Amino acid sequence: MDDVSNYERTIVSLMIGGYSDGAIARHVNVARRTLERHIAKLMQRVGAPNRTALGALAAHHGWVDVPALAGPSAPRRPVPVTAQRAGSVPAGRAMAS
């Protein structure tokens, strides 16, 4: 099980970091569907029934640097921008009285 490539380690690290398939695919320069097939083949090869188990196996076998993922430089999932509440005042504009 230690025959995991650097490419696969990168993918799993980004998955653990919370990146979407689309973001990972752009990072490794493949189509999203191709990335999904690569993940499925890796899961099958290492016996992981799901992505969570794949992440656990990666951490257990040292395929990813877990302390780095937990630290301040860890990849983070982008925070969604929330829609403005109805009736709220946009920043920089004063309300007319």
pLDDT for residue 92 is more than 60: no
The DSSP secondary-structure symbol of 28 reads H
Report the predicted TM-score, pTM, of the whole model to 2 decimal places: 0.66
What's the whole-number average pLDDT of the chain?
78
CATH class of domain segment(s) 6-66: mainly alpha
d(CA 54, CA 60): 10
Domain locations in the chain as residue ranges:
6-66
- Give residue 77's pLDDT: 52
What confidence tens digit (pLDDT) does each residue in 18-29 have?
899 999 999 999
What confidence tens digit (pLDDT) does each residue in 36-62 have?
999 999 999 999 999 999 999 998 998
Residues 6+ apart with CB under 8 A from 5: none
Residues 6+ apart with CB under 8 A from 21: 32, 35, 36, 39
